[in-house]
Chain A
Amino acid sequence: MSSNHSASGEETKRHKVEGPRKHIVAFVMSLALTIIAFAAVAAGEINTTFTYIILVGMAIIQVFIQMAFWMHMKDRGHLFPKIAIFTGVLVVFSAVITALYWVWW
């Protein structure tokens, strides 16, 4: 947001450069989510299905955080990157379901 050229308003002589804070926050959150996932498995006393749900949940949240902040997908002008990645994800979902169905039913 701060990184965009502002077309209107007065001439911005100095562009705002984003600070490292939000990236460090993203790092700490990724770290926390990773530790939760490993701890859930290391504890080993939760039932399997519930552990799977925790693991996949933590992974999806972490990936969203990293793509939004580190890969700048939350910034303006990232419609095509979103289309590209989500089209890929759509194919991935159908591939996973197809492979499971193909092998197991």
Chain B
Amino acid sequence: MSAHQHAEGQLPHEPEKATLEGRNKVLGFWIFLGAETVLFGTLFSAFIALRHQVLDGPTAQHLFELPMVFASTMILLTSSLMSVFAVQAMHNNKVKAMIGWLLITILLGLAFLGLEITEFNTYVKEGHTLKTSAFSSSFYTLVGFHGAHVAFGVLWIGLLIAQILKKGLTVVTAPKIYLSAIYWHFIDVVWVFIFTVVYLMGKVG
């Protein structure tokens, strides 16, 4: 029960925090994100230590193309803003607008994945496979894990849209929308470090 009196059937302000269960979900999710930080951090540490070990394979300078990385970065950054708008629409109780923003979010997520698949495909053709060198293994593990998180996010938000269409926006479904947005921002935050450490530093040498 919310501390405030609300008219029957009306959604409370900030419905994601209106119930104890909702607040607990938010707290639990942040602890999960702390663990995710460690997961990505350890993959980063392996990559940073091994990024010059290319053996006979192509080097980072040879492989990476900045325009493509920049395009991916813009797509993910924009989709992060779109999920901010989705949460704001939720706070204004505009369910249709919220679903619209969520749809744009996952479309941009799919565009990002498409670019990543094209990119990996090009690399494999240039002889940069998972087994080529310590550099290539740590590269695919780190960037691939991030890509898998994007794919999971797309799936998750897609299912949430279906659930909203079926059950509507309630104090039970609202925390899920809020947390999927937090998750999506986290994925974008990880990407900031990936384009910095993997691509830009790789290009510098």
Contacts and interface: CB of A to CB of B under 8 A. Distances in A.
A30 B92 CA distance: 26
Nearest to A35: B70
Q: How large is the interface on A (under 10, 10 to 19, 20 to 34, 35 or more residues)?
A: 35 or more
B131 to A, nearest CB: 19
Contacts, number: 139
B33 A34 contact: no
Nearest to A13: B4
Contacts of A1: none
Interface residues of B, number: 50
A52 B204 contact: yes
Interface in A52-105: 52, 55-56, 58-59, 62-63, 66-67, 70-72, 80-81, 83-85, 87-89, 91-93, 95-96, 98-100, 102-104
Nearest to B182: A71
B204 A59 contact: no
Given A31-B77, A42-B66, A85-B37, A92 B42 contact: yes
Nearest to A38: B70
